[in-house]
Chains A and B, each alone.
Chain A
Amino acid sequence: MALQDWKQHKRPFAAIASGPLLWLFLFFLVPMTIVWLYSFGQNSGPADINITGTLDNYKRATEWLYLSIFGKSLAVAALVTLICLVIGFPVAMAITFAPEKWRPWLLVAIMLPFWTNLLIRTYALMMLMGSNGYANQGLGAMWEGASWLKTMVGLQPLEAWTPVQLLYNNFAVVLGLVYVHLPFMVLPLYSALDRLDKSLIEASLDLGAGHLKTLFTIVVPLAGPGIMAGVMITLIPALGAYLTPDLMGGTDSQMIANVIERQFKRANDWPFGAALSFLLIYAMFILVALQSLRGDRTKTGER
């Protein structure tokens, strides 16, 4: 039973598609166009923007200051994505190979964080990681335990515990972002691995390849589209993150989204904020385009 081609059934297709298309047009394209137009404007009063066609906003947005923040944001987002991939892949594998009846529960566990607002989760993480937070309290208790053990065997006790600085630095931002984005990585990986024909893995193992070799020559290439989807779906929101760096970052942890947010709020410079946003959008377009280009090439290469 092949799917029917929409070209032969234009009318029902149009009936079904027009609703979502209208929705997309009204609530996505129109507002985006307005913001895009703002990026070519300038403030003419506290609440008025004149769209003059000026390129000044883009000129300012491509100054080294902002490009360097773009660069830093990209680096942070890439690191977050990499860590998510390294942690998420084994998790997705584990779920795939878990007994059938456990799988739904494991997936629910992965999605559980979504039941709570991002802000609340971030605050919870801050409670955990503060100078006097639970993590430091735990480490401090272990330190004292070690000190006590040393005195028991007649050695000098350790010096007093000084809390580890876990919050308010770039480490905290990366950790916070990994924590938030891990489910975005695990879910597409799981769906890719789940569809994978397990007999291929068995064949590989039967024919003498080791587990690692099987993983890298069989599983990873076959799960490639899932990995790319996971990378994109993690990288793009991580690049636009602003809450985590705001709350958990230190004095040098600003990311481009924080700068954009400030233009729209405190600086009241919507045209410049719009230009910065669109630079970010262009950058993401390029990333997605590169990915699909790559995809096309491998397909034609295979043929």
Chain B
Amino acid sequence: MKEFGNTGNLRLGRRSLLQSLGVAAIGISFGGLAACSKEAAKDAAKTGGTTKIAPTGEEPKLNFYNWDTYIGETTLADFKGAGGADVNMTLFASNDELFAKLRAGNAGYDVIVPSNDFVERMAGADMLIPLDHAQIPNFQNIAPEYQDVAYDPKRKHSMPYTWLTLGIGYRKSKVKAVPDSWKVLFDSDEYKGRIAVLSEAGDMFRLYAKYLGKSVNGLTKDDIKLIEAMMIKQKPNFKAFHEDNGQDLLLKGEVDLVLEYNGDIAQAMAEDDDIGFVLPKEGSQFNSDNLCIPKGAPRPKNAHAFINYLLDAEAGKKITETILYPTPNAAAKALMPDDYKNNPVIFPAAELMAKCEYAKYNPELQPLYEEAFTRVRAS
């Protein structure tokens, strides 16, 4: 139980440094966890991945720039134990931070973990090295639907690490019916003052597009105007625009409905039976985090070996056990227990998934979303 609780609190920190600091601030001890990882590291060698790592001829070091608590507890030690490089992991809290840091030049990172739209943005800005698939044979472990994606055709620059989708987290005892439509959040005063939505303008506009039956990538300027008016009308019913800490607001009872990622709500559900998650019937937006090698990486061969290792079935399973996010790694998923594989929050029904789309990076629309959202918040 203690172990589980710790894992959970760590996962809350996935998207935001603010949250993980918040967790630390309210005094949850990480001591127990440190003890676990030490113990686990002891038998790392025998339970590590099956992938063999040949010497790359490079200095056996690697700089890994990752989200907080987004790796298996022993993965880095296992990699080293299997003959890989000594991995030095540093953390970022948002894609913006990652992008801002690399835009001025690579300070020595070998592997980074941007989300799909940032893969597109960084590839467009020539900030990523094309991957050599011959050095990543474990790519075959990836489920077919993630092997070729619109944001990175033929996986030229990125390997999928996790994916997630936005939906509605809710407190079961406080809703009349399962809120299975965006209408409940976006176009109804049924739950006035008990709703929190994301403060990310792009996501908000794209999900409104879904509610209106449009593609997340098919918005026009007129649509933006229409959605802006809808948001202004709905604003009195919102309690807050949250900074991706919706699961906390839900757990603390600040709100009863929240727009949040499935992975985050899955965790809240593990802590509180009264919490549910639904992927609205109109469909939603996919996000995916990806392993990439930034331009100027000092040790590209080690980076390839490390990415290959992370895509290993056994290593992938151990990562998934810790972070509990949906994995695109079919071989790793097959090794997971049924309560993960068959969890409808982590893996929503196929017909709903078919209605979800990846958001494309759109440099023309993004400032328009922001400006319209600024107007909404100022109104």
Contacts and interface: CB of A to CB of B under 8 A. Distances in A.
Contact of B96 (A66, A123, A266): A266
A43 B25 contact: no
A144 interface: no
Interface residues of A, number: 38
A47 B295 CA distance: 14
Interface in A244-299: 246-247, 249-252, 254, 259, 262-269, 272
A88 B133 CA distance: 65
A14 interface: no
B92 interface: no
A12 interface: no
Interface stretch (A19-27, A79-87, A127-135): A127-135
Interface string B345-369: 0000000000000000101001101
Contact of B378 (A43, A48, A68): A68
A168 interface: yes
A185 B252 CA distance: 34
A99 interface: no
A262 B378 contact: no
Contact of B363 (A43, A127, A259, A263): A43
B44 interface: no
B317 interface: no
Nearest to B377: A254
A46 B364 CA distance: 11
A123 B26 contact: yes
A254 to B, nearest CB: 5
A252 B369 CA distance: 17
Contacts of B236: 251
B253 interface: yes
A273 B361 CA distance: 20
Interface string B107-134: 0000000000000011011010000000
Given A69-B378, A252-B235, A123 B25 contact: yes
Contact of A266 (B25, B239, B366): B366
A251 B239 contact: yes
A76 B32 CA distance: 44
B286 interface: no
Interface in B72-120: 94, 96-97, 99-100, 103
Nearest to A60: B371
Contacts of B377: 251-252, 254
Nearest to A250: B240
A255 to B, nearest CB: 10
A168 B371 CA distance: 22
Interface in A26-50: 43, 45-48
B125 A267 contact: no
B58 interface: no
A69 to B, nearest CB: 6
A47 B239 contact: no
A48 B125 contact: yes
Given A246-B199, A265-B100, 20 more contacts: A46-B124, A65-B378, A69-B374, A117-B21, A120-B24, A123-B22, A123-B26, A127-B26, A130-B252, A131-B254, A132-B252, A132-B254, A251-B377, A252-B378, A254-B377, A254-B378, A262-B370, A265-B97, A268-B366, A269-B367
6 contacts: A45-B125, A119-B25, A168-B239, A251-B239, A251-B241, A268-B363
